[in-house]
Amino acid sequence: MNQQESIEFARTFLENIIAFFGTNISVTARANEDVIELDVEASELNSILIGRNAETLRSLQYMVSTALRNHDAALYRVNVDVAGYKQQRAEQVAEKARGWIEEVRRTGDSHIAHLGAADRRVVHRVASEYEDIHTFSEGEGRERHLIIAQRSS
């Protein structure tokens, strides 16, 4: 399955999953480098589709990605967002990160943040805007955490 067929397959597959909830919700799909971006429009199902701590959202991504792999798709990495949830979450995490960075600058003490992978990426991106700060992740699996520290001169 080529790239365009992969994108269309992913969109249709996600729409069919959502249809099991008894409603037809539009899903837009596009490729961003090697990731298929699927955006689900806002509806009364937002909280159900996102789930607690976005676990349902991650599960939807996993199901679509697995289906793509099983069909030998050209693209199989998937990012599903419902009603802009991930963008809002990224903005909240970025704001927290700026506060943590200011605290590290003020006190000189490192800050340890226990965050999921997507949130860690946001903090790394924000920290890259500061020349005197660096971030790194340590640990494995659920124990993985991010450390914000002052860059040694």
Domains and CATH numbers, the chain: 3-83 (3.30.300.20), 88-150 (3.30.1370.50)
Structure confidence at residue 112 (pLDDT): 93
Structure confidence at residue 141 (pLDDT): 85
Neighbours of 13 (CB within 10 A): 19
How far is the C-alpha of 116 from the C-alpha of 67, rounded, in Å? 24
- Positions in the chain short of pLDDT 50: 153
The model's pTM: 0.74
Structure confidence at residue 13 (pLDDT): 95
Structure confidence at residue 24 (pLDDT): 85
How far is the C-alpha of 139 from the C-alpha of 147, rounded, in Å? 11
Structure confidence at residue 66 (pLDDT): 95
Structure confidence at residue 123 (pLDDT): 94
Place of tokens 């946001």: 122
